[in-house]
Structure 1
Amino acid sequence: MRFHIFALGLAMFAHAAPALAQDAPARDAPVRDEFFWLGEINKATAVINTEEGLLDKAMAPRITAGIVKVLEDGAKPGAKRPSTVITFEPLLIAAAGEDVTLLHAGRSSQDMHATYRAAILRDDMLALADQLSRTTATLVGLAEKHVDTIVPNYTNGVAAQPNSFGHYLLGHAAGLERDAQRIREAYARIDRSAMGTTVLNGTSWPLNRARMADYLGFAATVDNAYDAAQISSMEQPVEAGGIVTSIALHAGNFVEDIMTQYAQARPWILLQEGDGNTYVSSAMPQKRNPGLLNSTRRDASTAISLAMGVAIQAHNITPGMGDPKEVKPNSAMVRSGIAVLRNWDRILKGMVISPDRALEELNSDWTASQELADVLMRKYKLPFRVGHHFASDVVSYAKDKDIKPLDFPYAEARRIYAEAVKGSDYPAELPMSEAEFRSTLDPIAIIRNRASAGGPQPAEMQRMLGEARQRNAQQAEWIKEKRARITSSLVRLDGDFQKLQAKAP
């Protein structure tokens, strides 16, 4: 099953490959794949074990030369880059002789593979965080432009209440902020080195695990040796899959909300034509199909499928099995989330909003009717359910007579109110004046008069916009800091490895 889903994921990425290339830390940086990290682990082992007396210094020249040769050969165009310890080590032996296996003191493919998987997933999660931050910035920027754009919002697929479009967008941004939190929390659990735990119970060699972790850019070590490769290494991709799923669900919700507009003859929100956003029907000249919406929804479904595949593979197997650990499908799964976010960003930049058409739609329906009940309760102490009954009767009468909110006769409102409170102790006359009745049904006034925290009123919008921008800026700084730590650690390792080479006679 996972193979089939993975194949779907690879097909999806085939058309997105040029865009995904920008996720690399730098254009001229080496590919940080399994081969790369096996090389870094061997370099760090050579430095640490030589300096700490676990490896005879006389062996350093041959060993370092062998490591360099293997890495240089692997960097050549079209060269093979082995991804496992048992395929990498023969290259070292060929380059430096059997003595090079002295590097293997206290090591196992279990802890080495667990370490490079964590390192690669760590890079993938930073790439996901980076695109999440970019998409969030676009979302918040669009929200700022549409603070005063009043639109209908929908519940149960039906127009429900008026809202600021900016407020609606900030709601989606809040969802992405939680995804950003999840990435940071998961990253802290992934950013730990398994090196030195060997298979599952450590080693008799007094390895400097903390120094190894630091050279490889990890913030800490996995404390329990059994946990390192048997437990945490299996759960890491599952946790990443949960984050990808959340992102895909958020994107899918947004896409489907916009898709409902395409069923209308006169939508208030569309995609700008061209630039791959829409395409013309092959048979019906009037149609402008929302291709970008369709492909983003498809990509979100693919991302969820890939994420579910990890959980299914990790289910009902003994600890340490390799089923859910493979780098390629797990990287593809994370990158599927990146592709969804990137397309969501394109949607946001390609949307065309018609404030006048949105307001027209609001005024053609009774999405403001709840406000009648709210005002009657807040200002005139009428129980909400009584006011709700009155407002519901107004709507029923209006729909039966095809009367729009702005045209509803005030005299009929008074009559319906009197019938609603008949036989009760409440005032028989509608306490609202005609002017107040009209303003209560005005969507713009409703938004302006909201008073609760987190609402769409201007003051709250400015507060939430400011906080959203600040949180996203902090996220961008966090990404920069984590990438810088990894880079500086690897630079320091290269420097110390070169010093070890230089000491060779």
Structure 2
Amino acid sequence: MTTEPGIRRAAGKFVRLLAAGGAIACHATLAAAQDAPERDEFFWLAEMNKATTIINSQEGLLDPEMTPGIATALAQVIEDGSQPGADRPATVISFEPLLIEAGSIDVTLLHAGRSSQDMHATYRAAILRDKLLELATQLNTTATTLVDLAERHADTIVPNYTNGVAAQPNSYGHYLLGHAAGFARDAQRIRETYARIDRSAMGTTVLNGTTWPLNRERMADYLGFAGIVDNAYDASQISSMEHPVEVGSIITSIALHSGNFVEDVMTQYAQTRPWILLEEGGENTYVSSAMPQKRNPGLLNNTRSDASTAVTLAMGPILQTHNITPGMPDPKDVAQNSDMVDAGIRTLDRLDRVLKALVINPERALEELNSDWTASQELADLLMREHGLPFREGHHFASEIVTHARQNNLGPLDFPYDEAQRIYAETVRDTDHPQDLPMTEEVFRATLDPVSIIANRATTGGPQPAEMQRMIAAARDGLAQQDAWISERRDHIETSLQKLDQDFEALLNDSPDEAG
């Protein structure tokens, strides 16, 4: 059951190409790697069969005399599947007939102690593991853009909003770091979920193992997993159902974070003079077909739509897993779960373009702040901090100033100081506190200055310059650690698959024809 040595050598070259199909360190192999097939179900079924051939022949579960022929038949199936437009079966029962055709019924000796249950659970985990690394990479790219923008706008003072209403002044960089913190938690969720998915189910058979003493740990090592799913029932009946649900929760979080940011920017487009817009042209904006003055924010609309699609797809695994018995295939579809992750990646990619297209007008933002009373709380804070006035009394004083100002169309820059004195006296009239406003006009004006408010914040995690520097450095450190984590995981998988390829190639070369 052998083929010509030339076929074996060609198959060996092909499996080397497979090992190079991920992150390529050497430029010389890049062109070849571009022709390598994707790591789909067919790829992982081939890898599992390669690992099985090696391990079982070395540990006495497969007749060493039959091993080279079985390996050659497997290499032929892999090579055939690499041809343009070739069929790449995605199930054990459709892959095995190709092996039999390439060799003989003897190749089914590979299936000792195996099942579609553990093999499919393994390739689902491997594919989802790869998708999580793709997601983590895009998340880090978008988060880096966010932190870069935050550093550039650390000193840009803008309004922030709560309940849809202008609330307080803030550094735009500080606001952006808040969004970056949300994405940092998404990155943490990816790492935690990855650790739970990065476990091999191979060797658990259907749900309770097999009488064959399969070496599950070696199999996991060859396939680049960090370890095995310990409980054989859990392997294909429980954990494989919860994996897409858990990934769906990450996609949901990323989509919600992205959508929240987009909607905050969108509120500016309702104003006649926004302080933040998209740079015009390209995908960013487009002109209305009827109203020539409009510049519709197409990029924002598309990003929000991508986020909505991601949330919709992320709900699928939950609904499919709800109220079914363990092990059912409903939530396990590889294509559907990959589409779900891809939707999250598209959302982040589009958000990255939004961040790079933002045009912030600091002067207009400051004008917006000075046209409203977003700094009024600082009056109450100062009276309590420096003069012992209870906060609620100070709050009432500031609130009455705002009421009077809005009734008389006054802003913080032109509010009469004598009116402030009068309102204060009325506020504390029935109290034991001094009846005169205990701040000079100069202090009164400075207290309402948005720029001074930000500079004088003392809270850890606030927008004051020292804290901004600290938080930007911490954010960059987190991004660097995440990047290193992604690289380490990819390198581990690639190194494992390269080792598998080398050992399998040794079997291909160890045949009677070669020996003669």
| TM-score, with structure 1 as normaliser | 0.95
Asked whether the 8 Å contact 2:22–2:494 carries over to 1, the reply is no
- Is 1:187 equivalent to 2:174 in the alignment? no
2:474 to 448, 463, 467: 467
Report 1:91-106 matches (<5 A): 91-106=98-113
Distance 1:423 1:99 in 2: 100
Q: Secondary structure at the match of 1:455?
A: coil
- Is 1:232 equivalent to 2:239 in the alignment? yes
Alignment correspondent of 2:69: 62
1:446-478 Cα distance to aligned partner (Å, 9 max, x none): 000000100000000000000000000100010
Q: Which amino acid aligns with 1:44?
A: A
Alignment correspondent of 1:112: 119
1:434-453 Cα distance to aligned partner (Å, 9 max, x none): 00000000000000000010
- Structure 1 runs (4+) greater than 3 angstroms displaced: 23-27
| RMSD, aligned α-carbons | 0.9
- Is 1:197 equivalent to 2:204 in the alignment? yes
Distance 1:56 1:353 in 2: 71
Deviation at 1:24, TM superposition (A): 6.7
1:243-286 Cα distance to aligned partner (Å, 9 max, x none): 00000000000000000000000000000011211111111111
1:243 to 250, 253, 267: 250
Q: Secondary structure at the match of 1:154?
A: strand
- Is 1:427 equivalent to 2:427 in the alignment? no
Q: Which amino acid aligns with 1:481?
A: E
Distance 1:206 1:108 in 2: 15
Q: Secondary structure at the match of 1:407?
A: coil
- Is 1:147 equivalent to 2:154 in the alignment? yes
Distance 1:196 1:353 in 2: 57
Report 1:24-103 matches (<5 A): 25=23, 28=34, 29-103=36-110
Q: Which amino acid aligns with 1:213?
A: A
Report 1:266-415 matches (<5 A): 266-415=273-422
Deviation at 1:61, TM superposition (A): 1.9
2:499 to 474, 492, 495: 492
Deviation at 1:503, TM superposition (A): 1.5
Asked whether the 8 Å contact 2:170–2:454 carries over to 1, the reply is yes
- How many aligned positions are there? 483
Q: Which amino acid aligns with 1:383?
A: P
Alignment correspondent of 2:18: none
Alignment correspondent of 2:11: none
Deviation at 1:483, TM superposition (A): 0.3
Distance 1:317 1:84 in 2: 22
1:315-373 Cα distance to aligned partner (Å, 9 max, x none): 10000000000100000001100000001100000000000000000000000000000
Distance 1:333 1:460 in 2: 37
Asked whether the 8 Å contact 2:200–2:227 carries over to 1, the reply is yes
Q: Secondary structure at the match of 2:158?
A: strand
Distance 2:99 2:430 in 1: 95
Deviation at 1:204, TM superposition (A): 0.4
1:152-174 Cα distance to aligned partner (Å, 9 max, x none): 00000000000000000000000
Distance 1:137 1:75 in 2: 37
Asked whether the 8 Å contact 2:428–2:435 carries over to 1, the reply is yes
| TM-score, with structure 2 as normaliser | 0.93
Asked whether the 8 Å contact 2:140–2:479 carries over to 1, the reply is yes
Q: Secondary structure at the match of 1:210?
A: helix
Q: Secondary structure at the match of 1:282?
A: coil
1:384-435 Cα distance to aligned partner (Å, 9 max, x none): 0000000000000000000010100000000000000001101100001000
Distance 1:315 1:58 in 2: 49
Identity %, equivalent residues: 70
Distance 1:467 1:354 in 2: 27
